Structure 1
Amino acid sequence: MSSYIHQQRKWPAFQWKEEDFITLLSEVSNLQGRLMGRVELLGFKLKDEANLEMLIQDVIQSSEIEGEILNPDQVRSSIATRLGLDQSGVDLVDQQVEGVVDMMLDATQNSDKILTAERLFGWHAALFQTGRSGRYKIEVGQWRTEPMQVVSGGLGREIIHFEAPHADRLSNDMDLFLQWFNAIDTLDPILKAAIAHLWFVTIHPFSDGNGRIARAITDMQLSKADEVNQRFYSMSAQIKQEKKSYYQLLELTQRGDLDITAWIIWFLECLKKAIHSSNVVIGKVIQKHQFWITHRAHISNERQHHILTKLLDHFEGNLTTSKWAKLTKSSSDTALRDITDLVDKGVLVKLGSGRNTHYVLKE
């Protein structure tokens, strides 16, 4: 047997035992349909908000899988601006954030357009606008021309987890992949997403960024399966939670034969959990909407609105008077007046005492 599936004589003629996952696939399809039905009841405004929250998760979590930590405020501002949503923005958004957002929105909002090499080159260039990955200069906006290995371990103790196809094969391999991906066929669209993800990361056509682009392609195909250009669940967020098993099964599958049944089952289970998790996010969107309906009239100034928005979206640590002053660029006296006003109106609750005093939203 050859070392890797891409070295198999019949590559990429994937095989699978449909009877092993047909019930699971049906369950996932049913969950997907029920989620889309629930989303339709939200109305336009809440649908836009839910879509925003899911895209934020997708962008942040897909990057974190690769060890890239993005600023959540910048991600929110970048996506909201592109979607034309009214969100409190930040003054400056990092190029790296803009690049990931550009790729993700193109993949999901334009899922009806064909996927081409040029489009993928554009995504890659958006991810690496400086032409570097960390300290290293890489080939940007083109198929790699160098060998590619996935390696772990220190110097002299390296473990090769995977070796990608030779660079001189990439043009033909990617042509075949793109023809298959763009073809109109009878293959279940969710099953096609699972295969596309594995196929692309096995080819590993770029010097870096293959994982993020594979997940964007997956979201693109799942958008086709949902028949909407909005995202209401985050596959990347779920993969992040199962990162260890994700890499283990990819390695196992790429070292096996062309039967990818185990990978498909893992993908479907991951997708199932992602759809279940979306109910939590949608619940928070509804809760946030109800909060503003109840308390909008109690907000006296933009500083209060700014901090309450942060508390509803994401807030690191405890809200204190000094933190309020810092975030709103105001004095401590002004911050205390703002907070006391909201406590008196029943919007915030004071907890602790002395130096441990902090404030939370009233449930």
Structure 2
Amino acid sequence: MGIYIHQLKNWPNLQWNEQEFISLLSEVRNLQGKLMGKVELLGFELKGEANLETLIQDVLQTSEIEGEILNPEIVRSSIAIRLGLEYFGLEQSDRHIDGIVELMLDATQNDNKTLTSERLFGWHAALFPTGRSGMHKIEVANWRSGAMQVVSGGMGREIVHYEAPKAERLASEMKQFIDWYNNEQNLESLLKAAVAHLWFITIHPFDDGNGRIARAITDMQLSKSDGVNQRFYSMSTEINKQKKSYYTILERIQKGDLDITVWVIWFLKCLKNSILHSNAIVDKVIKKHHFWVKNAGLLSNERQQKMLDKLMDDFEGNLNTSKWAKMTNTSQDSALRDITDLVNKGILIKANSGGRSTHYILKDI
């Protein structure tokens, strides 16, 4: 089995060689500053939109890392309602989605950036509103009382990748972690996000949900570092893209000594990519804004506004009259009139394929 870092004599005295990532850290800091400057120019309303888009990605991707695919429209609705933003989609809700949304909003949009065991228990309860993870009953809103192993492979061929600290150590382990998180003022804030993520996931204090809570703690620390209670880049999106190397590096570090330099470098590269990719979200919000400035006054009804909004967000498949009719709860004739009106006004255009596969796309976005 070998020895894990939490079994070493000097745990949790994690160490790193700053010289190996000082220029990378400075580059990420610079990109972070540039992004925050770009966002500042957006103005209040567009900042809110960019924050919404980023949070949607964060919630979808942190769940996808764990193999859960959430409905983007329900996620959008849940976040928009909680942020008090106008929303024209389906306002159905899902307890499970509402729970992870509440967790993410509490971690990032809240002025209070302190950790307590009660706050972590609240996040855990929000993640598992039924007290179950899939079919299994789990301990909710409390540290786990049993052993915790990270295992892969089928029955009889299991590979143990990691074994977390024993349950009787959790109260003191978590107290030490929480005290450090709240009181460590001297550590560079991006470096602190990297250390916090690794430290928490190594303790693995819950029956389930440890990865999502580790990423929420990371986002909380990053929002502290950004100096705003809004998110404009999604670390979870980048981790999901690099999921294989994420698990590989965690396993390597957790079976190593207390030097976590390679983890810090991996984390900072991941953060750099997430900031670079955030420009796509900001650009999408600006494009959407210009679209509405140009076209909002041309619409004939709310159905058109709702459907155009959806086309710019998370629309699946091709838009045709039957889909329009179904999504707006109207007749095929009304759907065709709505679409024809938008085509005549130069907002929608007919896609190249004709016949039964006739569908429509936005002209300007």
**Same fold at TM > 0.5:** yes
For residues 55-104 of structure 1, give each alpha carbon's deviation from its aligned partner in whole angstroms, at most 9, with x where no partner exists.
Answer: 11101100110011111111111111111111124232100011001100
**Counterparts of 2:109 and 2:349 in 1: how far apart (Å)?**
41
C-alpha contact 2:162 2:251 (8 A) present in aligned 1: yes
Residue of structure 1 in register with 2:4 after alignment: 4
Residue of structure 1 in register with 2:269 after alignment: 269
Residue of structure 2 in register with 1:291 after alignment: 291
Change (3 A) 1:159 1:203: same
Residue of structure 2 in register with 1:280 after alignment: 280
Where 2:350 maps in the other structure, the secondary structure is strand
C-alpha contact 1:152 1:159 (8 A) present in aligned 2: yes
1:125 deviates by 0.3
1:110 deviates by 2.0
RMSD (Å), alpha carbons: 1.0
C-alpha contact 2:138 2:207 (8 A) present in aligned 1: yes
**Counterparts of 1:246 and 1:94 in 2: how far apart (Å)?**
29
**Counterparts of 2:276 and 2:39 in 1: how far apart (Å)?**
13
1:53 aligns with 2:53: yes
C-alpha contact 2:113 2:224 (8 A) present in aligned 1: no
Residue of structure 2 in register with 1:304 after alignment: 304
Structure 2, unmatched stretches of 5+, are: none
**Counterparts of 2:127 and 2:42 in 1: how far apart (Å)?**
33
Structure 1, unmatched stretches of 5+, are: none
C-alpha contact 1:2 1:8 (8 A) present in aligned 2: no
Where 1:198 maps in the other structure, the secondary structure is helix
1:184 deviates by 4.2
For residues 206-246 of structure 1, give each alpha carbon's deviation from its aligned partner in whole angstroms, at most 9, with x where no partner exists.
Answer: 00000000000000000110011000000001111111100
Residue of structure 2 in register with 1:358 after alignment: 359
- Give, as a single letter, the amino acid of the residue that structure 2 aligns with 1:307: M
**Counterparts of 2:110 and 2:186 in 1: how far apart (Å)?**
21
C-alpha contact 2:349 2:363 (8 A) present in aligned 1: yes
**Counterparts of 1:111 and 1:243 in 2: how far apart (Å)?**
30
Residue of structure 2 in register with 1:144 after alignment: 144
1:64 aligns with 2:64: yes
**TM-score with structure 1 length normalisation?**
0.99
Count of aligned pairs between the two proteins = 363
**Counterparts of 1:292 and 1:27 in 2: how far apart (Å)?**
36
For residues 312-331 of structure 1, give each alpha carbon's deviation from its aligned partner in whole angstroms, at most 9, with x where no partner exists.
Answer: 11211111111111111111
Residue of structure 1 in register with 2:254 after alignment: 254
Structure 1: 4+ residue segments shifted above 4 A: none
Over the matched positions of the two proteins, sequence identity in percent amounts to 66
For residues 22-78 of structure 1, give each alpha carbon's deviation from its aligned partner in whole angstroms, at most 9, with x where no partner exists.
Answer: 000000000000110011000000000000000111011001100111111111111
C-alpha contact 1:111 1:223 (8 A) present in aligned 2: no
**Counterparts of 2:72 and 2:318 in 1: how far apart (Å)?**
17
1:111 deviates by 5.1
**Counterparts of 1:176 and 1:90 in 2: how far apart (Å)?**
44
**TM-score with structure 2 length normalisation?**
0.98
Where 2:229 maps in the other structure, the secondary structure is coil
1:8 deviates by 0.6
Where 2:12 maps in the other structure, the secondary structure is coil
Residue of structure 2 in register with 1:83 after alignment: 83
Change (3 A) 1:6 1:180: same
Where 2:160 maps in the other structure, the secondary structure is strand
Equivalent positions of 1:149-164 (< 5 A) are 149-164=149-164
C-alpha contact 1:342 1:348 (8 A) present in aligned 2: yes
